[in-house]
Amino acid sequence: MSVSLTAIKKLKINKNNSVFIILILILIVSGLYKPEFLRFGNLFGILRQASALGLLTVGQLFVIVGGGVDLSVAATMQVGITIFTYVYNLYGLWGLVIGIILAFAFGILVGVINGIIVTKYNVQPFLTTLFTGSIITGIRMTITGIKPAGTIPEMIRYIGRDKTGMIPNAVIMFILVVVVCYVVLNKSVYGRNLIAVGTNKIAAKFSGINTNSTIIKSYAVCGFLSILASMVLAGYIGFADQWIGAGYEFKCLIAAVIGGNYLGGGRGSIIGVIGGTLIMTIVLNFVILLGLSAPFQHVVAGLALILALLMGIFTRNK
């Protein structure tokens, strides 16, 4: 008992974990108002809803830590799922394998192109990724005529919708990615290089770090995770909607910032990403639970998110 109390005392509230206080508050209020909200089934359902956004936000975090931002993630998701579904519907089982490879290769390629333009020509990441997103969306619309890409295979449904025991597979996927990315970002040479580049690019260069390569890799990771997120989301709805993930480019940025991450680069918290993603998702469920009309939902959701941001600011230096 005393050990656990000591552990609690050692827990320091900072800008990355303060968001969990708001989360706990929302859960307490929700549970008091509607006890069934706290059922495991419902909580896992919320976690499943959060998984695709979480994957995307982890990818975005890599870019943010390197001092950039990627606004092409939604467009990458849409093209990725379209490529995958078209190839799968054309070639069946072989198409499943080839489609997955092509989709992930596409995501990485978009990331590499973004990274090259940002690093080699010093174009603002905001503009670069906005325009690459626009270009690939245009190409998708022209080539496909925006027809629904067709049915998705059961394997994708398995990832996005089904469960292992009580836990949705999407959540397991998210946890795995979080663990791997946590290790990469905090324990690997690449992670330390990325933080160094994001903190001070010139100093990092003089330290012998290949800054361009480091940044390009961060965009590639983001592209890869965008494709993974698109598959989880397609599996969630069971349909290859060509507009899948629309608006997620900003949602994942917001989730990252609410989680206490700094858009200027050099710092990044995976724990913060989890908190930011969860609060973005739970707030949606919370306002519906309260039975608020759509306009009031916006007000309450906005207030809850501002509160989470303020918590981060107040605890910044702790």
Partner 1 sequence: MKKTILWSVIVITSFLMIVMFALSSCKESEVVVETVTEEKIDDGKFVIGVSNEGPTNDWAKSLNYHIQYSFDIKYKDLIEKVYYMSCEGDPSIQVDQIENLLTKDIDALLVSPLSESALVTVIEKATDMKVSVIVLGSSVLTDKYVTYVDRDNYETGKIIATWICEQLGGKGKVVTIMGEPGSGYSEDVLRGVSDALKEFPDIINIGTDYGEYSPVVTKQKVEAFLASYPDLGGVIVDGGMMGMGVIEAFTDAGLELPYLTVDDWNGFHIMAEEIGYSKYVSVPGGSELAADACDLLIKILNGESVPKEVLLAPSIMSGDEVRAMIPEGMPESYWALCKIPAEHVKEYYK
> Which residue ranges make up the site for partner 1 (CB under 8 A)?
34, 36-37, 39, 41-42, 45, 49, 116-117, 120-121, 135, 138-139, 141-143, 145-148, 150, 161, 233, 236-239, 241, 243-244, 246, 281, 284-285, 288-289, 291-294, 297
Rounded least distance, CB 52 to partner 1, Å: 9
Residue closer to partner 1, measured from CB, 200 or 241: 241
* 164 DSSP β-pair partners: 167
In the complex, the smallest distance separating the C-beta of residue 87 from partner 1, rounded to whole angstroms, is 18
Task: Decide whether 141 or 203 has the Cβ nearer to partner 1.
Answer: 141
d(CA 251, CA 116) in angstroms, rounded, equals: 25
Let me know: does 125 contact 69? Beta carbons within 8 Å: yes
Closer residue to partner 1 in complex, CB, 200/212: 212
Alpha-carbon span 67 to 60, nearest angstrom: 11
Is residue 312 within 8 Å of residue 18, measured between CB atoms?
Answer: yes
CA–CA distance, 114 with 75 (Å, rounded to integer): 13
Cα distance between residue 153 and residue 162, in whole Å: 13
Least distance in Å: CB of 142 to partner 1? 5
Between 39 and 316, name the residue whose CB sits nearer to partner 1: 39
User: Which residue's CB is nearer to partner 1, number 24 or number 246?
Assistant: 246
Nearest-angstrom CA–CA distance, 313 and 300: 20
For residues 21 and 284, which CB has a smaller minimum distance to partner 1 in the complex? 284
Tell me how far, at minimum, the Cβ of 16 lies from partner 1, in Å: 26
DSSP state of 37: G
Q: Provide, rounded to whole angstroms, the least separation between the CB of residue 285 and partner 1.
A: 4
- Within 10 angstroms of residue 315's Cβ, the number of other Cβ atoms is 18
**Listed residue (259, 265, 220, 215) closest to 53, CA to CA:** 259
d(C-alpha 250, C-alpha 66), whole Å: 18
**What is the closest distance, in whole angstroms, from the C-beta atom of residue 302 to partner 1 in the complex?**
15
Taking each helix axis as running N to C, give the angle between helix 40-65 and helix 73-121, from 0 to 180 degrees, rounded to the nearest 10: 20
For residue 121, the minimal CB distance to partner 1 (Å) is: 8
Residue that is written with structure tokens 């619309």 in the block? 141
Measured from the CB atom, is 62 or 106 closer to partner 1? 106
Closer Cβ to partner 1, 184 or 292, answer by number? 292
Which residue stretches of the chain are H helix? 2-10, 19-33, 40-65, 73-121, 125-144, 154-160, 169-187, 189-199, 201-206, 211-237, 248-258, 270-289, 294-314
Smallest gap from Cβ 150 to partner 1, in A, equals 8
Closer Cβ to partner 1, 221 or 233, answer by number: 233
Considering the complex, what minimum distance in angstroms separates the CB of residue 294 from partner 1? Answer: 6
